[in-house]
Each structure stands twice: as structure tokens, then as C-alpha cells.
Amino acid sequence: MEYCDGGDLMKKINIQRGVPFTEEQIVDWFVQICLGLKHIHDRKILHRDIKAQNIFLTNGGMKAKLGDFGIARMLNNTLELARTCVGTPYYLSPEICENRPYNNKTDIWSLGCVLYELCTLKHPFEASSLRQLVSKICRGRYSPVPSRYSYDLRLLVTQLFKVNPRDRPSVTSVLRRPILEKHISKHLDTQPLLPLAFAFLLFRVCVHVQLSATASLVVKSRRWANLNTNICLWTRDKGVSRWDTLTRHSSH
């Protein structure tokens, strides 16, 4: 488990005391959150509790990490719908408020709530009672994002807040937006690609040696095979997930 010395995003929002974040900072954090969400959505996992308190900061507040998977749910396939009513009220999607089946698009709604908070320093949907809050969420009524931010950023917020989940973009689609694309590369570490390629090459050499060499060479090759396994595990932990995100993104 990694210690995030920058606290969570809600704490960062609160200490702003009304001073808005720059669009550059907002988009940079948002891209990192989206990359984390894409990683789990690609594996058919719903987070179900995306909120500013569950996004943690490190590296002097520059790195954002999606955390707290306590109520996450894995679906059998991308078309399966979940039914359990879970989450934090301010971030609930209309379909959950109405007790309807939902899928990964409910995470997209919550993602929109976080983006809105970064732009306005407040919740998009607020009310004096839970009943009124649910009513506002189900109608999709919220104050517009300040005009100090670009049209593209404000448009993205409206798209994430589509009441019908089918009208909301997937996180992959969100990451393709020009406003986000230019920030993606600096959060993808391509260095593990070389060790990964080397590991596969090493594995092929070891197999060849095992099939054709003497017993002493077989023992030696097994040591290399063990080394290869360690390299594969290291690249999987440190880089394969990011590499997978990069290749999927660049192929579209």
C-alpha cells in the first residue's frame, strides 16, 4: 500500500478557500483519474464510490491516484448491470437514485461530479434534504461551470452529466478528447517496454537451451527462466497496465 502524503482531493479543494484552480491543473489531475478509471473499467470493475475524498495526491500534490475500492464490484461482462444501491449521496447517479440497474456509466456520472468540484470548488448537486438532493440529481439541474474555463472543458462536464446513462461517454471516449490527449503521455511510463521485450526474448532462448542442451545447461537455463519470471512480474506490476492503456489509446 502506498502512502499519499498530499492527502485527498477534497482536502485540496477546501484549502483553496474560493481561489479557483487553473484549467491546466484541473485537466492534469482529471486525466490521471481517468487513466485509473480506464484501467479498472477495462477489467469490468465498477468503482461505485468515486468522489474527491477517494482521490489521493502524492508527489507534492501533482500525482492523483484513485483509491478506496471497498464497495467496488466486478461484472461478468460489459453488458451486465449491477443493482445494489451504494455510494455517497452527492455523487449518486440518477439511475442509482431511481433504483434502476446500472453499469460503468454510473462511475462516469461520479467522475463528472469530481470534475465539476475542481472547476467550482463545490458540489454540483446540493440540497437541504436527501429527497431534494435526489430530485436535483434525477433532473440533472446544476449551476453552470464558470466561463473562465474553456468551452471544451465546460462541454465535457455537460456530457458527463447526461441523465440517460447511454448518452454519457465511456472513459475511453473521454480520454480521446483533444483537451485531455496532450496530457496523457506524461502520465504513461514507456520505460518498462524494453524490459518486457527483453523478458520474452530471454524466455525463448531459455526454452531452446532446455530442449537441446545437456543436463548442466538445463539447470542453468532454469535459473534464467526464473530470472525471466521475475522480470515479467516486475513489468506487470510496474508497467504493463500503463503500457496496455497506451496501446489501446493509440490504436483508436
> Is 244 a known active-site residue?
no
- HSE, side-chain direction, 13 A CA sphere, residue 171: 30
- Which position among 8, 49, 107, 152 bears the catalytic label? 49
To the nearest 10°, report the CA torsion of 59, 67, 52, 245. Answer: 80
Q: What share of the chain is helix, strand, coil (3-state, %, to 5)?
A: 60, 5, 35
Instruction: Name the nearest CA neighbour of 232 among 188, 207, 195.
Output: 195
Give me Rg for the CA atoms of the chain.
22
Whole-number Cα distances in Å, 85 to 20, 66, 80, 156, 220: 33, 21, 16, 26, 56
Looking at residue 82, the DSSP 8-state letter turns out to be B
Active site residues: 49
